[in-house]
Amino acid sequence: MGDQVTGREVRLARRPSGVPTQADFEIAMTTVAAPVGQVLVRNLFLSVDPYMRGRMNDAPSYVPPFQLGRVMDGGALGEVISAPAGSPLSPGQLVLHNLGWREYAVGDQQAFRVVDPIPGVRPSAFLGALGMPGLTAYIGLLDIGQLAAGESVFVSGAAGAVGGMVGQLARVHHAGRVIGSAGSEAKVEHLVRDLGFDRAFNYRDGPVVAQLAEACGDGGIDIYFDNVGGEQLEAALSCLRPQGRVAMCGAISQYNQTEAATGPRNLSLAVGKRLRLQGFLVSDHMHRQAAFRQEVAPAIADGLIRVDETVVESIENMPEAMIGMLQGANLGKMVVKV
Ligand SMILES: NC(=O)c1ccc[n+]([C@@H]2O[C@H](COP(=O)([O-])OP(=O)(O)OC[C@H]3O[C@@H](n4cnc5c(N)ncnc54)[C@H](OP(=O)(O)O)[C@@H]3O)[C@@H](O)[C@H]2O)c1
């Protein structure tokens, strides 16, 4: 028998209907044992992501549902406590892995990927700007959206983990007008003042199509990076120029809906405008990780790209962080500091 520790974990207590509530989660104390040959990791930061909402439903998807009464999982950054002799891992190393929602993780060494700290970059960025959400922004904007210099970009969910990176990467890649939407005045101000968006609006202030048309001025948009779906997708279809692209990343306006969503009513505009709408999953593009890190890590260290994150303290508050993130409580990446 190897090392043994006691720690908390978050379990799925009940499948939510609509927006999750505290009663859908249970915090439990558990003893974690690392059998000989396995790696024991103490988690430092836990990732809170929108796709986890889908996993709380009992519905087939591209990732299997969480199991009732069992610990949930998700991205995490931890520190190796012990590793088997001969393993490339050693105590004290920082590792990224998928055994989140718990204080201690145990697994085969293949489950953990070492990350080397980058001077000037806080480690939690490996879960956000330098991690999965940042890569999602990079892939969606450059590979799927095929941004060319001078083209205009609209991104919804712009003050979130993915959206904030989309706007900043668009700027770094010499986009034309960069427009973002978000759900509060403070977020809208932040987009223009701190992240370099040219225009931003609060989607709660009135019809999105009118606000987007106003933000576009005389030109339309060439790329819509869709984090939200629904009304914002419909507005973007109206404002896209011929040959425009939609990088379909997510549809968070629909994740808590209990009834079937109505589609954009103007989808047929895609024909006359020769639009391309393409869904994508970041997990299909992991081969682009090295290029992404090579470009984005120095940009962060040099202050060209800003790392926004909202840090919630303690695993006890992870359910609250998840519920809050789904309702806009976060600016940038939502993480829990264990
Ligand atoms: N395809 C992929 O591989 C992939 C990978 C990662 C993420 N995603 C998707 O990317 C999107 C953003 O993810 P993220 O991790 O960056 O999350 P996030 O934007 O950091 O957090 C979620 C945000 O969604 C916004 N929101 C909630 N309900 C909304 C509604 N009804 N209408 C408009 N906005 C709403 C809230 O901001 P406001 O205050 O602005 O409302 C909230 O802060 C999600 O759709 C996610 O599923 C896809």
Centre of ligand 1 from the C-alpha of residue 233, in Å: 14
Specify the CATH number of the domain 4-128+308-337: 3.90.180.10
Indicate which residue's Cα is closest to atom 11 of ligand 1: 227
Centre of ligand 1 from the C-alpha of residue 156, in Å: 8
pLDDT at position 199 is 98
Write the pLDDT tens digit of every residue in 196-251. 999 999 999 999 999 999 999 989 999 999 999 999 999 999 999 999 999 999 99
Centre of ligand 1 from the C-alpha of residue 149, in Å: 26
Type and span of the H or E element at 325: helix 318-326
Which atom in ligand 1 lies closest to the alpha carbon of residue 332?
A: 20
Q: CA–CA separation, 318 vs 335, rounded Å?
A: 9
Res. 1: pLDDT tops 80: no
Res. 95: pLDDT tops 70: yes
Burial of 2 (0-12, 13-18, 19+ CB in 10 A): middle
Indicate which residue's Cα is closest to atom 46 of ligand 1: 250
Q: Are 231 and 239 in contact (CB under 8 A)?
A: no
Indicate which residue's Cα is closest to atom 45 of ligand 1: 250
Pocket test for ligand 1, best of 252, 281, 333 (most atoms within 8 A of CB): 252
Ligand 1 pocket, residues with Cβ under 6 angstroms = 49-51, 133, 136, 157, 159-163, 182-184, 187, 203, 227-228, 249-250, 252-253, 280-282, 325-326, 328, 330, 334
Centre of ligand 1 from the C-alpha of residue 3, in Å: 39
Strands (E), 145-270: 153-155, 178-182, 199-202, 221-226, 240-248
CB atoms within 10 A of CB 125: 25
261 pLDDT band, cuts 50/70/90, is confident
260 pLDDT band, cuts 50/70/90, is confident
Res. 89: pLDDT tops 70: yes
Res. 2: pLDDT tops 80: no
Strands (E), 127-252: 153-155, 178-182, 199-202, 221-226, 240-248
Which atom in ligand 1 lies closest to the alpha carbon of residue 136?
A: 5
34 pLDDT band, cuts 50/70/90, is confident
**Cα–Cα distances in angstroms (integers) from residue 17 to residues 27, 68, 238, 317, in the given order:** 20, 14, 33, 20
Residue 25's closest CA among 320, 324, 332? 320
Centre of ligand 1 from the C-alpha of residue 273, in Å: 27
CB atoms within 10 A of CB 150: 10
Write the pLDDT tens digit of every residue in 46-75. 999 999 999 999 998 999 999 999 999 999
Q: CA–CA separation, 101 vs 182, rounded Å?
A: 27
**Cα–Cα distances in angstroms (integers) from residue 110 to residues 106, 244, 317, in the given order:** 11, 41, 29
Class of domain 132-283: alpha beta
**Domain parsing of the chain, residue ranges:** 4-128+308-337, 132-283
For β-strands 309-313 and 333-337, DSSP reports them as parallel
Q: CA–CA separation, 136 vs 90, rounded Å?
A: 30
Indicate which residue's Cα is closest to atom 7 of ligand 1: 133
Residues 3-13 as b or e (16 or more Cβ within 10 Å = b): bebebbbbbbb
Indicate which residue's Cα is closest to atom 41 of ligand 1: 183
Centre of ligand 1 from the C-alpha of residue 280, in Å: 15
